[in-house]
């Protein structure tokens, strides 16, 4: 299995531009998570989906952020307009919800976003 795939791996953009991050979860996994990691705030959960449905988006910082999961194999996180404070590493993770027991999350390699 290729694992969780994220693209792009690096993104440099200017303030005000739209940024779209993409994620392909592990095949068969039915939960998908978007995280943001910075030195100051650590690892923050932005939003997560179960069976393509957004369950909790309370971590989305503001309306400039939006996420979609149109099907089980693809998700996007969009920032419009982007701001310098959005600079961070954005991770996508997926897991298989078994209902009981551990639920290991498998993280993608991350997208390193720099907003100038």
Partner 1 sequence: GQSLEQPSEVTAVEGAIVQINCTYQTSGFYGLSWYQQHDGGAPTFLSYNGLDGLEETGRFSSFLSRSDSYGYLLLQELQMKDSASYFCAVRESSASKIIFGSGTRLSIRP
CB of 87 to partner 1, least distance (A): 16
Q: Decide: is 53 part of the binding site for partner 1 (CB under 8 A).
A: no
Token code pair at residue 80:
């419009």
Contact string 8-47 vs partner 1 (x = CB under 8 A):
-------------------------x--------xx-x--
CB of 41 to partner 1, least distance (A): 9
What does the DSSP assignment read for 46-115?
EEEEETTEEEE-TT--STTEEEEEEETTEEEEEESS--GGG-EEEEEEEE---SSS----EE---EEEEE
DSSP 14: -
CB of 71 to partner 1, least distance (A): 22
Alpha-carbon torsion 106, 76, 24, 57, what sign? positive
Nearest to 4 by CA among 23, 22, 21: 23
Q: Decide: is 62 part of the binding site for partner 1 (CB under 8 A).
A: no
Nearer to partner 1, 57 or 81 (CB): 57
81-100 binders of partner 1 (CB under 8 A): 91, 93, 99-100
Q: Decide: is 52 part of the binding site for partner 1 (CB under 8 A).
A: no
């Amino acid at each position: 299995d290729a694992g969780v795939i994220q693209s792009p791996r690096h993104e440099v953009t200017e303030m005000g531009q739209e940024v779209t991050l993409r994620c392909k979860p592990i095949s068969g996994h039915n939960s998908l998570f978007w995280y943001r990691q910075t030195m100051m705030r650590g690892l923050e959960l932005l939003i997560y989906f179960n069976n393509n449905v957004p369950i909790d988006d309370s971590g989305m910082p503001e309306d400039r952020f939006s996420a979609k999961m149109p099907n089980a194999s693809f998700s996007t996180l969009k920032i419009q307009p982007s701001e310098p404070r959005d600079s961070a590493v954005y991770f996508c993770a997926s897991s298989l919800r078994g209902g009981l027991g551990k639920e290991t999350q498998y993280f993608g390699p991350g997208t390193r976003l720099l907003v100038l």
